[in-house]
Structure 1
Amino acid sequence: MTALKKYQKLECTGLWRSAPEAQRREVVVSFGEASLTMSDPRTELALSHWSLPAVERLNPGERPALYAPGADSDETLEIEDGDMIAALGTVQDALVWIKPHPGRLRTTVLAGASLVVLLLGLFWLPGALVEHTAAVVPPATRAEIGRMVLADVIRLTGKPCVEPLGKRAADRLARRLFGNGRMTILVVREGVLWPVHLPNHQILFGRSMVEAADGPEVLAGHALAEQLRAQAQDPLIPVLEHAGMAATFRLLTTGELPAEAVDGYAAGLLRAVPPPVPEDALMARFTEAGVAATPYAFSVDETGESMLGMIEADELRETPPQPVLQDEDWVSLQGICTK
């Protein structure tokens, strides 16, 4: 890291492509302590994060320099800036010593690699490695891990219900609560006793919960509570904890998580009791979303006793806010699993 201090806060422009068929997009490239970040120059929103150790140059010696977050990645980045190219070259040079090289003393290489693993094991793993990896995983990789987790869940629950009008109603509920493109609500036929959150911004409900709910405010409340749980702990973290140290380290260094690393994760996910959400934070989120909290409170405790504070603080229970869903959409959502 000492060799990289002069590159701290280094930025340049580049051309980023999210997939081979996608158009190139101008981005601001930021060189950080452990990651390379591509951001929209107008909104400053991060579009992708690459782990520095995983960055590979695809055209050594040519300009513009072409990079990818791993040889098998769909993403690419073109850079003309000499300082940024030098910085990335320094990272790659610093990693050369841990790779095997014909003609060098094998014992030295193995000893160095073993020392790195030992130091990581003593001073960084497992918690810090998992948290750091979750923080730098790019959105495309996070989405792929989410699809892997969903595939593991489907083995226990069956595929998400897709009755067209019900699916449209679920999408409308997600937009009403979270805005466009920020969250997806899925409903499965069995196996889900309470909502669960996947790493790629998906919330799963069980069919029985949807059909038994007194109104859309109940589902809205549980979805908002699940969002706060996801904010309190990144849903990717327990996935990586299940995957183990070796798979997490591979994800950090290569940008790939082995598909078998998530096998069996769904069984624990569906059994786990959701942790409580602080009432003050939950009430603030209900108010922000314009959703009455009382229906949710009674769905958690039908007597209302343990949720009395939330019920009494619900200023929207007397004055109905903007509807969470129109009546016809709510009927459609309750029938999402009829086909």
Structure 2
Amino acid sequence: MTALSEYQRLEASGLWRAAPGDQRAEVIVSVGDATIVITDLRERVLTHWSIPAVTRANPGEMPAIYHPDGDEGETLELDASEAQMIDAIEKLRTGIARHRPRPGRLRLGMLLASVAIIGGLAIFWLPGAVRDHALRVVPPVKRAQIGAALEREMQSVTGPPCRAPGGVQSLAKLAQRLPSTRGTGGLSVVRDGVDGTATLPGGTILIHRSLVEDYEEPDVVAGYVVAERLRARAHDPLGRLLDHAGLGAAFRLLTTGDPGEAALRSYAEYLLADAPQQPVSDEVLLEGFRTWSIRSAPYAYALDVTGESTVGLIEADPFAAEAPPAVLSDGDWLRLQGICGG
């Protein structure tokens, strides 16, 4: 995004609130790499907001109030005196919106393309072919929107993501330590409903709070994240949604850009009912642990405390003899363990 370079040195002061009922805190706001970075007065990062997912709660009014899409409880307030930062955010939001597929054009274009393909190739009447075609044409922004909508459907059981400020910062560091090769690569810790981890369309991984609260070292949750990234690479999360929702949802996604509320609700219930995870072979896992420089033995013992069923991961641990770079510092790990507030 060429407009970002114009604003990357721009800073402003504002008032940030992590959740409803929290006291607003004075913060420093700056524009990062496609994100709005919010830091405290000691320049410690409190949170990152993806610019495509930032919403203004009161267009045209002052002070300007922003929040992440789908989370109106976390807010950032910018006074009229910070007009330059407000103008920058609005220009970036407008520029991103201009490049997003317009629903009317997307609907018409997808419909015409689908009709042409179906008319010329009878194979596209088959559910598998329609599903594969949908996965090829859906853009990353739309995948992320579907993932966010699915996460909202799940929150009646999982609760909202845990957001204790120090923990959020540490969670961001964990995501940086274990970068995704596709999708957003975001991590979100939830209180309930998820059995270990689950990847949403768009790449965000939901992590059950027990993985950060019940273990003495961060290598366990890091192992789960690595396994989930490999699983998502082999089994497209949007493809799994369409497999569950069926041909109607795939056609609806092709023609309207949305699989439909019924499909999202049904798949959310499926994920929350301990849907079986796709297996990942030991060979693939070990290569992943080598790539991300993570020990495999702690993850193996978390899966099976006896080690009997995971002996391959234990004996072939790529870092059994030499420790890899630390997943997190001790302080960051302690803060991450408190991300759900106890």
The question of a shared fold, defined as TM-score above 0.5 by the shorter chain, is answered with: yes
The question of 1:138 aligning with 2:139 is answered: yes
Q: Map 1:15-94 onto structure 2 (within 5 A).
A: 21-22=94-95, 68-70=105-107
Paired residue secondary structure (2:162) = coil
Shift in Å, 1:319 = 1.5
> Partner residue of 2:203?
201
Query: For residues 299 and 113 of structure 2, what CA distance do their matches in structure 1 show?
Result: 56
Q: Map 1:124-273 onto structure 2 (within 5 A).
A: 124-178=125-179, 182-270=184-272, 271-273=274-276
The question of 1:325 aligning with 2:328 is answered: yes
Query: For residues 306 and 134 of structure 2, what CA distance do their matches in structure 1 show?
Result: 43
Q: 1:239 to 1:293 in 2, by over 3 A?
A: same
Query: For residues 166 and 337 of structure 2, what CA distance do their matches in structure 1 show?
Result: 10
1:240-280 Cα offsets, whole Å, 9 max, x none, are: 23333223212112323323331132221131122321111
CA contact (8 A) 1:157 1:188 kept: yes
Q: Which amino acid aligns with 1:166?
A: G
1:98-157 Cα offsets, whole Å, 9 max, x none, are: xxxxxxxxxxxxxxxxx96xx96x863322211221221011111111111101111111
Query: For residues 301 and 55 of structure 1, what CA distance do their matches in structure 2 show?
Result: 48
Query: For residues 131 and 298 of structure 1, what CA distance do their matches in structure 2 show?
Result: 37
CA contact (8 A) 2:191 2:209 kept: yes
> Partner residue of 1:278?
281
Q: Which amino acid aligns with 2:240?
A: P
Structure 2 unaligned residues grouped into runs of 5+: 1-51, 53-91
Q: Map 1:118-129 onto structure 2 (within 5 A).
A: 124-129=125-130
Query: For residues 243 and 330 of structure 2, what CA distance do their matches in structure 1 show?
Result: 42
Q: Which amino acid aligns with 2:174?
A: L
> Partner residue of 1:295?
298
Structure 1 unaligned residues grouped into runs of 5+: 1-17, 26-46, 57-67, 72-87, 97-114
Indicate the percent of aligned positions where both proteins have the same amino acid.
Answer: 40
Provide TM-score, normalisation by structure 2.
0.65
Q: 1:338 to 1:297 in 2, by over 3 A?
A: same
Query: For residues 303 and 207 of structure 1, what CA distance do their matches in structure 2 show?
Result: 23
Paired residue secondary structure (2:192) = coil
Q: 1:211 to 1:192 in 2, by over 3 A?
A: same
Q: CA RMSD in A?
A: 3.3
Q: 1:192 to 1:254 in 2, by over 3 A?
A: closer
Q: 1:338 to 1:265 in 2, by over 3 A?
A: same
CA contact (8 A) 1:173 1:324 kept: yes
Q: Which amino acid aligns with 1:21?
A: T
Query: For residues 113 and 184 of structure 2, what CA distance do their matches in structure 1 show?
Result: 39
Paired residue secondary structure (1:167) = helix
Query: For residues 233 and 291 of structure 1, what CA distance do their matches in structure 2 show?
Result: 22
Between stretches 188-197 and 267-276, larger displacement belongs to 267-276
After superposing on structure 2, the runs of 4+ consecutive aligned residues of structure 1 that deviate more than 6 Å are: none
Query: For residues 172 and 94 of structure 1, what CA distance do their matches in structure 2 show?
Result: 42
Q: 1:306 to 1:261 in 2, by over 3 A?
A: closer
Query: For residues 288 and 302 of structure 1, what CA distance do their matches in structure 2 show?
Result: 25
CA contact (8 A) 1:193 1:209 kept: no
Paired residue secondary structure (1:231) = helix
> Partner residue of 1:31?
none
CA contact (8 A) 1:152 1:264 kept: no
Q: 1:267 to 1:320 in 2, by over 3 A?
A: same
Paired residue secondary structure (1:204) = strand
